[in-house]
Chains A and B, each alone.
Chain A
Amino acid sequence: MTTIAELPPGFADKVLSAQSTFRSVMDAMARPGSLQRIVPGAGAPDMMMRGTAAIALTLFDHDTPLWLDAPMAASPDVIKWLKFHTGAPVVQDSSIASFALIGDAAALPPLERFALGTSEYPDRSTTVILQVESLDAGRSFELRGPGIDGAATLQASIRPFDLFERLRFNEPLFPRGIDIVLVADDAVVAIPRTTRVVSKGS
């Protein structure tokens, strides 16, 4: 039986670490494709990256139903850590989740299974937090949309390989849609529903 003492710690400084993590995520969301760094101030359980753990501690609480993919949900460490530090209820039904944590992005379920919001309340949609291999090396993508001065370039190694093609389903849905936060260790890139991504040749 795991005791609380064996859990990786939360933020050493709850207030200021949450603030700096939030500013990184806010800047990432406001400037899609831009790579932001999270200053790691907390432990992370098992298969959770440092950036993911910091985002969880910053944004999750009892008001945010949380959906975990199979590898995350199979880890008792992850469940215990999230429960102890955030209190967020873990739900089985992804269509009511405020946040979804994807540990193994290759097994990302169809995006329409998440909450897309309604036309009246498009904010009631799932923010999907996706752990990926790398956000500064790999294939090149061109991003356009609000928050971007002309076009932005993102280099990333991402599974599923067709993630950005699948994200095109956001386009006709707007203002409904899914917002994605990509995490690779302490690096964060956000792709809100307004961003259009095309793969650059090569």
Chain B
Amino acid sequence: MNAPAYNFAYLDEQTKRMIRRAILKAIAIPGYQVPFASREMPMPYGWGTGGVQVTAAILGPADVLKVIDQGSDDTTNAISIRKFFAKTAGVATTTATEEATVIQTRHRIPEAALSENQVLVYQVPIPEPLRFLEPRETETRRMHALAEYGLMHVKLYEDIARFGHIATAYAYPVKVNARYVMDPSPTPKFDNPKMDNCPALQLFGAGREKRIYAIPPYTQVVSLDFEDHPFEPYRFNAPCALCGAEDSYLDEIVTDDKGSRMFVCSDTDYCEGRQAAGHHGSLSAAPYKDKAQGGANG
């Protein structure tokens, strides 16, 4: 009576077969959005149902799963999805990027370099990069068929005309393998260069919009730009207040109602790893170990 009433990794086998076939075609046609029959999941659309279905279709008992939400392993979304697969598939979970074989992510790419034996699964809200420029699916599909992406360049140009620079800061459009323009999901454009020539396989799942797409390993991914306005990743000009990192993507945290703020790494695993290795930022508490050493020396 206590036996679970669901299959390994929740999804039934017929659904997994359908998703697996879509994943194979997605890998064969880098950047092309493959339609799939997205299922109802025991969580609302917008909570990563696309990513969850992709993860469920690839996950095996030997996998080690990491889930991040805006870089953090500790938010509700990340914890819920990690627990979901720990319960339904019995897989080991981790927060350490290097230990994971499957990493499901919402809106970030880990700071640590990914390796060949890892798969990065993105949760995608709106997979169609042209959707806000052209609402009709029939038209955007035709535009992809003809590789007609002038509209996207007009949009970026209008940014420059209005603001003096390309103001798109996240979901910054990329061209995959010199063919398909693709939405990298709402990752900050800081992360775009990490997608290029990445050793790990990158899979994208959009549950509500029913699309799966992929970037195979070692595939060229170019952020769209202009010769006189080249692509520039954006980062707050500050070190992390907790670990002092100068190279990581930062979250801005408002600390009172007088305008005080601190900048901290958005990738919690990266930040904690650096702190454990002895790096400090301007606002980190003095580590216990240092005090003990100070006492011994003094």
The residues of A with any CB-CB pair to B shorter than 8 Å are 14-16, 18-20, 22-23, 25-27, 29-31, 58-61, 63-64, 98, 118-123, 125, 127, 146-150, 174-175, 177, 179, 192-194
- Known contacts A15-B13, A122-B32; 10 further A-B pairs (Cβ under 8 A): A14-B13, A19-B58, A19-B60, A26-B201, A29-B28, A31-B116, A121-B35, A123-B29, A174-B179, A194-B30
Q: CA–CA, A175 to B146, complex, Å?
A: 10
- 19 contacting pairs across A/B (C-beta < 8 A): A16-B8, A16-B61, A18-B13, A19-B16, A19-B59, A22-B58, A29-B27, A59-B17, A59-B21, A60-B17, A61-B17, A98-B21, A121-B141, A146-B215, A174-B179, A175-B32, A193-B28, A194-B30, A194-B177
* A18 neighbours in B (Cβ, 8 Å): 13, 16-17
Q: CA–CA, A19 to B14, complex, Å?
A: 12
Q: CA–CA, A179 to B16, complex, Å?
A: 20
- A25, A58, A118, A123: the one contacting B25 at CB < 8 Å is A123
B20, A58: Cβ atoms closer than 8 Å:
yes
- B24, B142, B215: the one contacting A29 at CB < 8 Å is B24
* A146 neighbours in B (Cβ, 8 Å): 30, 177, 215-220
Say yes or no: is B2 at the interface (Cβ < 8 Å to chain A).
no
- Knowing A30-B201, A148-B218, say if A63 contacts B60 (CB, 8 Å): no
Say yes or no: is B293 at the interface (Cβ < 8 Å to chain A).
no
Q: Can you name the residue of chain B whose Cβ is closest to the Cβ of A147?
A: B216
A22, B146: Cβ atoms closer than 8 Å:
no
Say yes or no: is B199 at the interface (Cβ < 8 Å to chain A).
yes
- A16, A23, A122, A174: the one contacting B58 at CB < 8 Å is A23
User: How many whole Å from B141's CB to the nearest CB in chain A?
Assistant: 5
Q: Can you name the residue of chain A whose Cβ is closest to the Cβ of B8?
A: A15
User: How many whole Å from B107's CB to the nearest CB in chain A?
Assistant: 23
* A58 neighbours in B (Cβ, 8 Å): 17, 20
- A25, A147, A193: the one contacting B29 at CB < 8 Å is A193
- The 0/1 profile, CB within 8 Å of A marked 1, for residues 30-68 of chain B is 101011000000000000000000000111110000000
- A118, A123, A177: the one contacting B34 at CB < 8 Å is A123
B20, A120: Cβ atoms closer than 8 Å:
no
Q: CA–CA, A58 to B21, complex, Å?
A: 10
* B195 neighbours in A (Cβ, 8 Å): none
- Knowing A120-B142, A175-B179, A194-B30, say if A64 contacts B21 (CB, 8 Å): yes
Say yes or no: is B7 at the interface (Cβ < 8 Å to chain A).
yes
Q: CA–CA, A26 to B63, complex, Å?
A: 15
B217, A149: Cβ atoms closer than 8 Å:
yes
Say yes or no: is B81 at the interface (Cβ < 8 Å to chain A).
no
A22, B20: Cβ atoms closer than 8 Å:
yes
User: How many whole Å from A70's CB to the nearest CB in chain B?
Assistant: 25
A31, B8: Cβ atoms closer than 8 Å:
no
Q: Can you name the residue of chain B whose Cβ is closest to the Cβ of A21?
A: B20
Say yes or no: is B171 at the interface (Cβ < 8 Å to chain A).
no
* B218 neighbours in A (Cβ, 8 Å): 146-150
User: How many whole Å from B18's CB to the nearest CB in chain A?
Assistant: 7
User: How many whole Å from B209's CB to the nearest CB in chain A?
Assistant: 15
- The 0/1 profile, CB within 8 Å of A marked 1, for residues 1-23 of chain B is 00000011000011011101111
* A23 neighbours in B (Cβ, 8 Å): 58, 60
A123, B20: Cβ atoms closer than 8 Å:
no
- Knowing A119-B145, A146-B216, say if A192 contacts B27 (CB, 8 Å): yes
Q: Can you name the residue of chain A whose Cβ is closest to the Cβ of B201?
A: A30
Q: CA–CA, A171 to B26, complex, Å?
A: 17
Q: CA–CA, A120 to B35, complex, Å?
A: 11
